[in-house]
């Protein structure tokens, strides 16, 4: 019975407002995986590494606000003596809408089911997608400080399992079939590698125009 502008209490997400959302019948119109993310490298000790991206489009019937995304990691590609526990590779998973971080979860909060580790990550802040418009959603990770040598150069899969959103009338919907959400369409391969491999680290030494006289220079 809520109306646009009402403050609503959702048993899962807590207090929120629909006041900023135009229209009353907004839906998730399309989710399109960003093709530039396909076989990503995650190096030990790296932070905010983008591993997945998608265009999220709202229908022309009204605005929507994203409330959560379910992120899933699949270790079925693990071979040899590599670990099958997500916390051996990652510390944190974050969700960004454009340049803004809108949600995160520690890997310790993820739940294991078979070969899949998943978590519904709640979103907050400005998560509105305007009617007929498209916003870019990214999944980024902070890797473990060190990754065992047996676990390096290993392949996992990551994907968006579903997106939960609210429209201007305060109606919540959970979508797992629109666009590339269906049939693992957002799935991306990720490889865990050493920091040096991921960053292609090089040491470069140059002289400045005002270099001092020959001496030992602390670096």
Q: What is the pLDDT of residues 136-171, one digit of tens each?
A: 999 999 999 999 988 887 889 999 999 999 999 999
215 and 89 Cβ atoms separated by less than 8 Å: no
pLDDT in tens, 6-61: 434 443 333 344 458 999 999 999 999 999 999 999 999 999 999 999 999 999 99
Which of 99, 95, 105 lies closest to 163, judged by CA? 95
- Decide the pairing of beta strands 154-167 and 188-193: antiparallel
The pTM score is 0.82
C-alpha distance from residue 77 to each of 62, 115, 164 (Å): 41, 9, 28
Inter-residue contact 121 to 95 (CB < 8 Å): yes
Q: Which of 98, 91, 86, 74 is nearest to 161 (CA)?
A: 74
Q: Are 117 and 110 in contact (CB under 8 A)?
A: yes
Q: What is the pLDDT of residue 80?
A: 64
CB 99 within 8 A of CB 126: no
Question: What is d(CA 72, CA 81) in angstroms, rounded to the nearest whole number?
Answer: 22
Over the range 101-130, which residues count as b (16 or more CB within 10 Å of their CB) and which as e?
bbbbbebeebeeeeebbbbbbbbeeebbbe
* Residue the block writes with tokens 């995650």: 42
From the list 109, 126, 20, the residue with the least C-alpha distance to 70 is: 109
Rounded CA-CA distance 30/18 in Å is 21
Whether 215 has a pLDDT exceeding 90, the answer reads: no
């Amino acid at each position: 019975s809520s109306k646009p502008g009402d403050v609503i209490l959702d048993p899962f997400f807590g207090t929120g407002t629909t006041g900023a959302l135009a229209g009353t019948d907004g839906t998730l119109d399309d989710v399109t995986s960003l093709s530039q993310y396909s076989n990503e490298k995650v190096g030990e000790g790296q932070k905010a590494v983008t591993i997945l991206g998608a265009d999220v489009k709202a229908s022309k019937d009204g605005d929507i606000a994203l409330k959560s995304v379910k992120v899933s990691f699949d270790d079925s590609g693990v071979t040899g003596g590599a670990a099958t526990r997500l916390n051996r590779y990652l510390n944190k998973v974050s969700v960004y809408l454009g340049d803004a971080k809108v949600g995160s979860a520690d890997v310790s909060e993820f739940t294991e089911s078979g070969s899949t580790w998943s978590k519904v990550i709640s979103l907050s802040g400005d998560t509105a997608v305007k009617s007929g418009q498209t916003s870019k959603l990214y999944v980024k990770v902070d890797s473990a400080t060190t990754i065992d040598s047996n676990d390096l150069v290993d392949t996992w899969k990551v994907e968006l399992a579903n997106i939960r959103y609210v429209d201007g009338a305060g109606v919540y919907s959970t979508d797992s079939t629109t666009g590339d959400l269906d049939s693992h369409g957002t799935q991306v391969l990720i490889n865990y590698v050493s920091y040096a491999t991921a960053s292609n680290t090089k040491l470069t030494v140059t002289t400045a125009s005002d270099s001092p006289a020959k001496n030992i220079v602390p670096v």
